[in-house]
Amino acid sequence: MKGLWNIFSKGLVLENPIFVLALSLCPALAVTTSVVNALTMGLTVTFVISTNNLVVSIVRNLVNPKVRVPIYITSIATIVTVAELVLQAFFPLLYKDLGIYLSLVVVFAIILARAEVFASKNKPLPSFIDGFGMGCGFTLAMLIIGAIREVFGNGTILGYQVMWSSYQPALIMILAPGAFILIGYLVAATKILSEYIEKVKAEKGEAI
Amino acid sequence: MTEHNQDNNSILKIALNLAGACIISGIIIATVYYLTHDIAKQKQVELNTLALKSLVTEADQYTPIEGKTGWYTATQNGKVIAYIVPTESKGYGGTIKMLVAVGPDNKVMKYTILDAKETPGLGDKASRAPFNAQFAGKTSANLKVTKDASNKDDIQAISGATITSRAVTLAVKTAVDEVSNLTKGGK
């Protein structure tokens, strides 16, 4: 059980997809202008990455290593297409909001990376957990970026005004350069945090 | 020779492996499509009606106008209270598709954006108040964008999204002009 927890939790901070692995920075810039967008994207990715890890892990012994990457891409594309079709039929409003994000998800580096690095070498359950943890880490990072950008760039959070009324929104935060600068700082912050975690772990190790 | 054969064999194997994966994926997608596409179509129609209803809430009937695809008249107790016109224009991130409701007096009632790829946080404000509220009651002459905050007659641009503001305003203006042509022709 502890093993599974470790697999899950490493995606949150120590191997956070955006802040540490620096994968999928493109969506992190593009769709984090508001908390709602960031959350939607994060949840979509979490779903696709967990499902894909599960599928890849189940078929890992059937796949010829020479064509593994195309097969993983096919698997991701199938999951996304099926999700799109189902949403379109049963939740058209949600589909309207998610549509553009869903099609983008196919090409996310993080999903392919997890399939290649983890799911192709591990059993289904740990693979699913790994995908879920990575997805949660991705969502967390997106939420942090989204929240900061929405507060400073628009003076709101989830659409509600949080800054004083005379606050002049900093336009740069909504635009891509602001996101780049912000992600830079957040990467530094994550670095400090993970160094601290390592230190605490090392000290504990000594105590035992 | 045997090595050569093995190579051939392995290439074939690889190809079959990938082809197999694609066939399975194709079958899955085809099945899901077959199962969902009727429902999706039906939902799409419902969604369209919903879009019409949200534009002109008072109307009890929507009739398509002959010869104009996507045009509707909204009637209440047999009296025409609005024309609903699909229109589009080029925004910052591509085409903005909208539905505009225009009253019989050629004044804008309301519009809804169906499809747009404007910058989230900037251009997508065009679908919300206070920007969209400015259009109610405007005639064709006042449908131009201004950056002068004291000018209350025209449309105030969204700060940071002038291109989107102009595109939306232009699309609404086109719709109003088309409706005034239609009503003139009909009379």
Quote ipTM for the complex.
Answer: 0.71
Percent of chain A with pLDDT over 70: 95
Q: pLDDT-derived band of residue A205, with 50, 70 and 90 as boundaries?
A: confident
Tell me: cis bond preceding B104? Omega within 30 of 0 counts: no
Question: With contacts defined as CB-CB under 8 Å, which chain B residues touch A88?
Answer: 36, 40, 43
Query: In the predicted model, what is the mean pLDDT of chain A?
Result: 84
**A:B CB pairs within 8 Å:** 79
| Token couple for A89 | 């039929």
pLDDT of residue B186: 52
- Residue carrying the six token digits 């990938």: B18
Q: For residue B113, what is the nearest residue in chain A, using CA coordinates?
A: A96
pLDDT at A50 over 90: yes
Q: For residue B123, what is the nearest residue in chain A, using CA coordinates?
A: A174
Q: pLDDT-derived band of residue A49, with 50, 70 and 90 as boundaries?
A: very high
pTM above 0.80, yes or no: no
pLDDT at A45 over 60: yes
What is the average pLDDT across A175-196? 87
Looking at the complex, does the CB of residue A171 fall below 8 Å from at least one CB of chain B?
A: yes
Q: For residue A37, what is the nearest residue in chain B, using CA coordinates?
A: B120
Q: For residue B91, which of B123, B130, B125, B129 has the smallest C-alpha distance? A: B123
A90 to B39: CB separation less than 8 angstroms, yes or no: yes
Q: What are the b/e assignments for B32-56, b being 16+ CB within 10 Å?
A: beeebeeebeebeeeeeeeebeebb
Which H or E run includes B164? helix B162-186
Residue B16 Cα, gap to closest chain A Cα (Å): 10
Q: Cα torsion at A89, A94, A100, A106 (round to 10°)?
A: -70
pLDDT of residue A161: 74
Looking at the complex, does the CB of residue A153 fall below 8 Å from at least one CB of chain B?
A: yes
Q: For residue A81, what is the nearest residue in chain B, using CA coordinates?
A: B29
Interface mutation target, options B29, B46, B124, B128, chain A, most CBs of A under 10 Å: B29
Question: With contacts defined as CB-CB under 8 Å, which chain A residues touch B40?
Answer: 85, 88-89, 92
Q: Are A165 and A84 in contact (CB under 8 A)?
A: no
Query: Which residues are CB-neighbours of A36 under 8 A, at least 6 positions away?
Result: A158, A159
What is the DSSP secondary structure assignment for residue B106, as one 8-state letter?
S
**pLDDT tens per residue, chain B (187 residues)?**
444 555 556 888 888 888 999 999 999 999 999 998 888 888 888 887 787 787 777 777 777 777 777 788 877 777 778 888 888 888 887 888 888 888 888 888 888 888 777 776 677 777 777 788 887 777 777 777 877 777 777 888 887 788 888 888 888 888 888 888 877 765 4
Spatial separation of the C-alpha atoms in residues A74 and A90, rounded to whole Å: 24
Give the torsion sign (CA, B18, B23, B26, B31).
negative
Q: What ranges in chain A are assigned the alpha helix state H?
A: 2-10, 25-30, 35-58, 68-90, 92-105, 109-117, 124-154, 171-174, 176-207
Q: pLDDT-derived band of residue A207, with 50, 70 and 90 as boundaries?
A: low
Q: Nearest 5°: phi and psi at B146?
A: -125, 155
Burial (CB < 10 A; 0-12, 13-18, 19+), residue A204, is exposed
Question: With contacts defined as CB-CB under 8 Å, which chain B residues touch A154?
Answer: 121
Q: Nearest 5°: phi and psi at B110?
A: -165, 160
**Tens-digit pLDDT profile for residues A13-23:** 788 888 888 88
3 state SS of B157 = coil
pLDDT at A44 over 80: yes
Spatial separation of the C-alpha atoms in residues B26 and B35, rounded to whole Å: 14
Could you tell me how far CA A70 lies from the centroid of its own chain? Answer: 22
